[in-house]
A and B are shown apart, each in its own frame.
Chain A
Amino acid sequence: MEKSIDLTLRIWRQNGPNDRGRFVTYEAKEIDTAMSFLEMLDVVNADIERRGEDPIAFDHDCREGICGMCGAAINGQAHGPDKGTTLCQLHMRRFNDGDTLVVEPWRATPFPVIKDLAVDRSAFDRILQAGGYVSVRTGQAPDAHAVLVRKENAEEAMDAAQCIGCGACVAACPNASAMLFVSAKVSQLASLPQGHPERERRALAMAEQMDREGFGYCSNHYECEAACPKEIDVRHIARMNREFLRARVLA
C-alpha cells in the first residue's frame, strides 16, 4: 500500500434520462493512493452492493486510457485535474486526505444520461457516419507505397487521429460544442492524400450533422483542448473551419 486517504464523494445519481437526478454523498475510507479513480469507485460500489443497494453506474472498459468509454467531471473538470489523462488513468495519489470530490456525468443536451455517470454518446457515431471515412472498398487499394505521404503530414494526421471519442471536449465546452471531436477526424483525413477526393463533401456533411445533433458552436474558449485526454490541438478546429469554408466556396 502506498498511502491511505479518506475522501468524501458527492456523486450524481440519476435513474434514467427522465429522472431529475441528485447528488448523493458517500464516504470513501482508507483508499490506497496507488488505486486508479475507477478502482476507488469499484471499492465504493462493492460496499454499496454488499448492502444490497444499487451501485453507481459508470462506463469504463479498457482502463488504460485508449477505449474512450470512461469519463466524468471531478470538481467540474472533465476527467479530473490531470492534464492529458482519462478518468481511468487518474490515480488517487493526486488527491489529499479529507478532500471532497464532486463527481458528475458529462453535461450536454446531445449526451442524455442513461444512468448516474453513464451517458449516451451515439451522436458521435452519427457524425462520423455522415462523412468520417474514405470511400474505399476492401480490395480496391493500390500498393501501400504507391502514394507517398510526407512524414510531417502523416504525423499531423496521427496527432488528430488519436481522438478516443470520449466526449470530454463537449463536456468541458461552455457551448457543448463538438468542434474538437469533429475537427480531429476532418483534419486527419484532410492531412492525407487518401482523404482529398472527398474533403469538401466530408467537411460539409459532418458539420451539418453536428448541428443537427444539437451541439453548440465554437467560441474559442479552448476548454476542449485543456480537457482532452489525448491533448488534441485546437488548431485542428482552425483547419476544419478552413476546410468548411473551402467546401462552401467550391460548392
Chain B
Amino acid sequence: MNLDSNVPSGPISEKWTRHKFELKLVNPANKRRFSVIVVGTGLAGSSAAATLSELGYKVKAFCIQDTPRRAHSIAAQGGINAAKNYQNDGDSVYRLFYDTVKGGDYRAREANVHRLAEVSNNIIDQCVAQGVPFAREYGGLLDNRSFGGAQVSRTFYARGQTGQQLLLGAYSALVKEAAKGGVEMFPRREMLDLVVVDGKARGIVVRNLITGKLESHCADAVLLCTGGYSNVFFLSTNAKACNVTAAWRAHKRGACFANPCFTQIHPTCIPVHGDYQSKLTLMSESLRNDGRIWVPKKEGDKRPPSDIPEEERDYYLERKYPSFGNLVPRDVASRNSKDVCDESRGVGSTGMAVYLDFRDAINRVGQATIEARYGNLFQMYAKITGEDPYQTPMMIFPALHYTMGGLWVDYNLMSNLPGLHVLGEANFSDHGANRLGASALMQGLADGYFVIPYTLGHYFASGPIGKVDTDHAAFKEAEKESELRINRLLSVKGKRTVDEIHRELGMLLWEKCGMARNEKGLKEALERIPAIREEFWENVTVTGSAGSFNQTLERAGRVADFLEFAELMVYDALNRAESCGGHFRQESQTEEGEALRDDENYCHVSAWEFAGVGRDPILHKEPLVFEEVHLTQRSYK
C-alpha cells in the first residue's frame, strides 16, 4: 500500500496558498449534484456540514445525540488558539506552527500544522461574526490568555465554556443551512458500518436509536468527524457516548489507523473516588495559571494540607522546570503527578492525587479576581467533591482526555480509501504525539470551516465517482452484517453487564498502556485483551430487543469494538519502542527521566492496516520530514 501524504511542494508558508490554487474546482451549477455524508456533529462535523452546504453540496448530517448541539466538543473549557498577536507579545503564524510541531514532540506532519496555524485567525473572525460571545476587554476588544505551556497569550475564550460557545456557533451555522434545505439532519443515529463500492467510500449503515431500524445512506463522499477513543479506557473525561465504532468500522473496511498509541492524559482532573464511578471530570488547565501544584515532601504524610508547613511542601513542577513551572505541557505535568504518587507522596484517601493550591493567588489578587477567572470551575469542583477549593487546595489527578491517533489522512484530509475523509480528533494529523492546550477546538474548526471545503471539491472534480444507490449489494451486505452482529450481542445472555467488562478492559489499559508503558506490560496486555474479548462474547448480558430504544445494546456494540481496537492500540505502543509526547516507554528516557525520542528508527507515522480480528495488523510507515522545525530533544527546564 502506498500512503502518499500529497503534501504540496514549495516553501512551507506557501504550500497551502499554492495548493488551494492548484486544487480543481467544481462548477457552481454542478455542486448540487454532489452529496456528502457527515458523521458526527461536533466542531469538525458541524462546521464542515454547514460550510459544504453553503457551497451548494447536498449534505446529510448524522449524530448519536438527540441534537447536533450536544456533541462532546461542548465540554471543552479553556479556549481556542489563534495567531492573531493581538497582545503584541511576539506571536505569529510561524510561532504557532513551531510551538505545535515541537509540542507534538515531532510526530506531526509539518505541512498540516502550518496550514492549521495559517487558518487559525480566520476561525476567530468567523466565530465572532456568528455571535460567539468571546471574553472582551473594556475597550470592546477580544481578551486573550496564556494557556497550557504557551509563552504567548494567544488563547481566546468564553468563560470556562469555550467549547460550548464554539459548538453552538457551528450548530447555528448548521441549522441556518438546514432551514434552507441544504443539510438534512439525522439525530439519534449511530453509524454501524462504512459501505465501500469499487474501492470508494459511498455510504454508511446507521441504526436509528429510537426505533432500532437499520438504515442505509448513500453519497459521493463520507466525512467521519466522530471524535476520539479515550473511552476505550472506560474512565476518561469524554462523554459517555464517545466511541471508536465509526472509525473502527472504517478501519475494518480498509482505512489505515495511524498512531493509535498516542493518547493524551490531562493533568488536571478530579481524582477517582469509587468503584461505581462512571466518568472523570476535567477541570480546565487554565487553573494552572494561578494554582500551584504540590505534594508533601515526606512519604505517606497524611496531615491535612493546612497543617503542612511551607518548607515541607514540594512544588515539584516549579522545582524541576523553573522556566515553565506549573505550565509545562500536559504530558510532562501528568507524568510527574504519577511519579510523585508512585513515591507514596500522593494525597487524598486513595493517595492518587496531588494538590492544586490557590492560596497564594488568592492572597496576591484577591478571592474576587480568582472567582471571576475560575468561578464556574471552583463551583463544579465543590459540587462533585463536597469541598470548598477557596478554603482547601483542590486535589487533582491525570485522566485520559484526548487521542492524537486516529484514521490516517493525507494533506487533503482523505484517508487511503478514496472518498472517505476524516476530520477533527478522529484523524491523526496535526498534534503528533502530544496536543497542546486550546488546539483541539482550533483543529476541529480548521478542518471543517477552512480545509475540507477546498479539498473535497478537488476529489469530486478529479474523476467520475459513478452512480450507486442503497440497493447496491454492498449496502445490503453491510446491513446484513450489522443485523447479525446485533443479534449475536442479544443472544449471548450471559451474567456480566457491558459496563463490568468495559471497566475490566479499561483498568488493564490504564495499568499497562497508560501514562507509562513498557515492553513487559504491553505484552501482558496483548495476552489479556483477547481473553476479555472472549469473555465478553460468552458472558455478556444485553437485555431488550433490537427493534427498540435500547441503550444497553448501544453500549454493547461500542464495547465490542473497543475490545478489538484496544489490541491495535497496545500493539502500536509495543511497536513504538521510543518515548515521544504522551507515549512514554520506560525503556526510553533521558537521565532526568524525560521522554527520549528515537528519531533514527521512529520518525514516522505508523499507519496500520487491518488483517482480521486477533491477527497481527500490517504496518505501513509514512516518513516524517522536518524541514522547518529541527529535531531536538524537547526541554522545558
List residues of chain A with CB under 8 Å of any chain B CB: 1-2, 16, 32, 34-36, 38-39, 42-43, 46, 48-50, 52-55, 57, 59-69, 82, 84-85, 89, 91, 93, 114-115, 118, 120-122, 124-125, 128-130, 132-145, 147-151, 154-155, 157-158, 161-162, 164-165, 188-189, 191-192, 194-195
Contact = CB atoms under 8 A, between A and B. Distances in A.
Contacts of A139: 122, 126, 450
Given A65-B380, A124-B67, A158 B133 contact: yes
Nearest to A129: B175
Interface residues of B, number: 83
A138 B50 contact: yes
Given A42-B278, A136-B126, 18 more contacts: A32-B274, A49-B541, A50-B495, A53-B543, A54-B544, A57-B549, A69-B70, A121-B67, A133-B173, A133-B176, A139-B122, A141-B126, A142-B125, A145-B142, A149-B140, A158-B135, A189-B131, A192-B131
B316 interface: no
Given A61-B239, A129-B178, A136-B130, A49 B497 contact: yes
Contacts of A35: 274, 276
Interface stretch (B156-164, B338-346, B434-442, B518-526): B156-164
Nearest to B383: A89
Nearest to B281: A64
B12 to A, nearest CB: 23
A138 B126 contact: yes
B379 to A, nearest CB: 8
A194 B179 contact: no
B497 A161 contact: no
Contacts of B127: 144
A52 B274 CA distance: 25
A50 B132 CA distance: 46
Contact of B122 (A122, A141, A164, A189): A141
Contact of A135 (B136, B176, B497): B176
Interface of B: 47, 50-51, 54, 65-70, 72, 74-75, 84, 86, 122, 124-142, 158-159, 161, 164-165, 168, 171-173, 175-176, 178-179, 185, 187, 210, 237, 239-241, 273-274, 276-279, 281-282, 379-380, 383-384, 386, 449-450, 453, 493, 495, 497, 499-500, 541, 543-544, 548-549, 551-552
Contacts of A48: 543
B139 A145 contact: no
Contacts of B276: 32, 35, 39, 42-43
27 contacts: A34-B274, A36-B278, A49-B541, A50-B541, A53-B543, A61-B72, A64-B237, A66-B161, A67-B239, A122-B187, A125-B68, A125-B69, A133-B131, A133-B173, A136-B129, A137-B51, A138-B173, A139-B122, A139-B450, A148-B141, A154-B133, A158-B135, A162-B161, A162-B164, A165-B67, A188-B131, A192-B133
Q: Lowest 3 CB-CB distances: which A-B pairs, in order?
A: A148-B140, A141-B129, A133-B172
A39 B131 contact: no
Dominant SS among interface residues on chain A: loop
B136 A49 contact: no
A158 B282 CA distance: 22
A125 B499 contact: no
B551 A57 contact: yes
A14 to B, nearest CB: 11
Contacts of A161: 132-133, 158, 165, 168
A46 B543 CA distance: 11
A53 to B, nearest CB: 7
Given A39-B277, A50-B497, A154-B134, A62 B239 contact: yes
A43 B551 CA distance: 15
B124 A144 contact: yes
A93 B386 contact: yes
A57 B555 CA distance: 13
A2 B198 CA distance: 59
Given A52-B541, A93-B386, A144 B84 contact: yes
Contact of B384 (A16, A91, A115): A91
Contacts of B54: 137-138
A2 B165 CA distance: 35
A89 to B, nearest CB: 5
B125 A143 contact: yes
A200 to B, nearest CB: 16
A188 B130 contact: no
Most chain B beta-carbon contacts within 10 A, residue among A1, A114, A120, A129: A129
Contacts of B139: 148
A34 B273 contact: yes
Nearest to A189: B131
Contacts of A122: 66-67, 187
A138 B55 CA distance: 9
Nearest to A133: B172
Contact of A150 (B47, B140, B493): B140
Contacts of A121: 66-67
B541 A134 contact: no
A55 B551 contact: yes
Nearest to A86: B383
Given A64-B281, A148-B139, A128 B72 contact: no
A138 B125 CA distance: 10
Contacts of A137: 51, 54
B449 A138 contact: yes
Contacts of B279: 63-64
Contact of B240 (A34, A53, A63): A63
Contacts of A1: 274
A144 B144 CA distance: 13
A69 B66 contact: yes
A3 to B, nearest CB: 10
Contact of A141 (B128, B140, B158, B541): B128
B65 A38 contact: no
B380 A64 contact: yes
Nearest to A143: B125
A164 B127 CA distance: 18
Contact of A144 (B142, B239, B274, B552): B142
Contacts of B172: 128, 132-134
A230 B63 CA distance: 24
A68 B493 CA distance: 33
B452 to A, nearest CB: 11
A133 B53 CA distance: 15
Contacts of B495: 50
Contacts of A2: 386
Contact of A188 (B75, B133, B140, B273): B133
Nearest to A53: B543
Nearest to A162: B161
A194 B497 CA distance: 50
A158 B281 contact: no
A192 B183 CA distance: 27
A70 B171 CA distance: 19
A50 B498 CA distance: 10
A157 B185 CA distance: 27
A67 B125 contact: no
A34 B130 CA distance: 40
A158 B141 contact: no
Contact of B86 (A50, A145, A154): A145
A191 B273 CA distance: 42
Given A89-B380, A142-B129, A151 B75 contact: no
Contacts of B500: 46
Contacts of A189: 131
A155 B449 CA distance: 26
A92 to B, nearest CB: 10
A85 B185 contact: no
A158 B159 contact: yes
A61 B241 contact: yes
A91 B273 CA distance: 13
